[in-house]
């Protein structure tokens, strides 16, 4: 097991990317967000993931976010960076940028738009792994990519040492369990906000919840309780976090899409808590209304989340 794989345990939040009024990365807010996460005791940070709006960032924004994170973390925990794009050459370019900026690992999905065969997915990872010195973490998110990192594919990637860990955002607990069986020894981290307690109980090495941007302490309490076998406490915390996750259902999806609704809700909650200055999302995602933000504030009150900065 690589040194990084041994450290990929616990809660590793996929950080949101805060923007200022010009659309540039808000470095002050990003540093504050990272400080809050590290202060809570997070075990790593993940930049340029789905919650970080990776598909909407330009090269300058990606580099700015990673540079700020590497500087702020200063080696305290691993910094993972998404290298996510339609094709292998683009992913290699992003991975090399992350490596040059000081990331500890790159997180890679299957290529998308091209509907790859499983053998082509394995080849994609082989080329990326050969192009950089950094460890590669696989990322299964079929809702965005359209192709699965099936248990069979993950087993092949692990056997050939093309990945050191997997982030599972498939939402498929049966598949998650089969992946654990087919790739024993490979750390698998769950990206589910709502099934985190079940995932840890099944054997997840850690959690990568987008909602952890809003409530890092809640996911740490859940993880620690589940790892200790205190399923009653873990279940109670999961139920509380599910009430918080309801903020993603507040935005009117007759007006905006599901991505704008979820990420807009996360960022609105973060702004209400004083973690980031501005809840804006990247174009073309549209903003939440004032009424929706007020409803999110009411949910924060209900789950006892106050301003922290």
Catalytically annotated residue among 167, 219, 223, 267: 167
Q: Do 2 and 164 contact (CB within 8 A), yes or no?
A: yes
Residue 221's closest CA among 230, 277, 19, 125?
A: 230
- 84 Cβ partners below 8 Å, 6+ apart? 48, 49, 54, 55, 91, 94, 107, 108, 109, 139
- Cis upstream peptide for 284 (omega within 30°): yes
Q: C-alpha distances in angstroms, 214 versus 28, 117, 189, 194, 266?
A: 17, 37, 19, 14, 6
Q: CA-to-CA distance for 263 and 138, rounded, in angstroms?
A: 22
**Residue tagged 């991975």 (tokens):** 95
* 223 tagged catalytic: no
What tokens appear for 233 in the block?
Answer: 């406490």
Q: C-alpha distances in angstroms, 198 versus 134, 194, 243, 245, 251?
A: 31, 9, 17, 16, 28
* 267 tagged catalytic: no
Q: Which residues are catalytic?
A: 139, 167
């Amino acid at each position: 097991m690589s040194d990084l794989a041994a450290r990929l345990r616990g809660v590793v939040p996929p950080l949101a990317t805060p923007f200022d009024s010009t659309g540039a990365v808000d470095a002050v807010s990003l540093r504050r967000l990272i400080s809050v996460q590290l202060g809570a005791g997070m075990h790593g940070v993940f930049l340029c993931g789905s919650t970080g709006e990776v598909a909407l960032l330009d090269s300058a924004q990606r580099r700015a976010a990673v540079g700020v994170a590497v500087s702020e973390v200063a080696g305290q925990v691993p910094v993972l960076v998404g290298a996510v794009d339609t094709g292998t050459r683009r992913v290699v370019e992003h991975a090399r940028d992350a490596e040059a900026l000081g990331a500890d690992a790159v997180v890679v999905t299957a290529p998308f738009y091209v509907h790859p065969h499983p053998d082509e997915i394995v080849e994609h990872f082989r080329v990326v792994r050969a192009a950089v010195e950094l460890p590669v973490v696989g990322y299964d998110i079929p809702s965005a990519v359209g192709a699965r990192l099936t248990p069979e594919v993950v087993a092949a990637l692990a056997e050939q040492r093309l990945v050191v860990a997997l982030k599972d955002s498939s939402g498929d607990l049966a598949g998650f369990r089969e992946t654990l069986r087919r790739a024993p020894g490979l750390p698998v981290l769950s990206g589910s906000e709502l099934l985190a307690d079940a995932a840890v109980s099944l054997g997840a090495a850690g959690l990568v919840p987008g909602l952890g941007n809003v409530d890092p302490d809640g996911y740490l309490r859940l993880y620690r309780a589940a790892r200790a076998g205190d399923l009653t406490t873990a279940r109670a915390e999961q139920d509380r976090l599910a009430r918080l996750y309801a903020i993603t259902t507040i935005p009117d999806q007759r007006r905006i899409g599901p991505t704008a609704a979820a990420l807009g809700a996360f960022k609105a909650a973060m702004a209400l808590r004083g973690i980031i200055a501005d809840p804006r999302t990247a174009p073309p995602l549209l903003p939440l209304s004032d009424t929706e933000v007020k409803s999110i504030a009411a949910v924060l009150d209900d789950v006892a989340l106050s301003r922290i900065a």
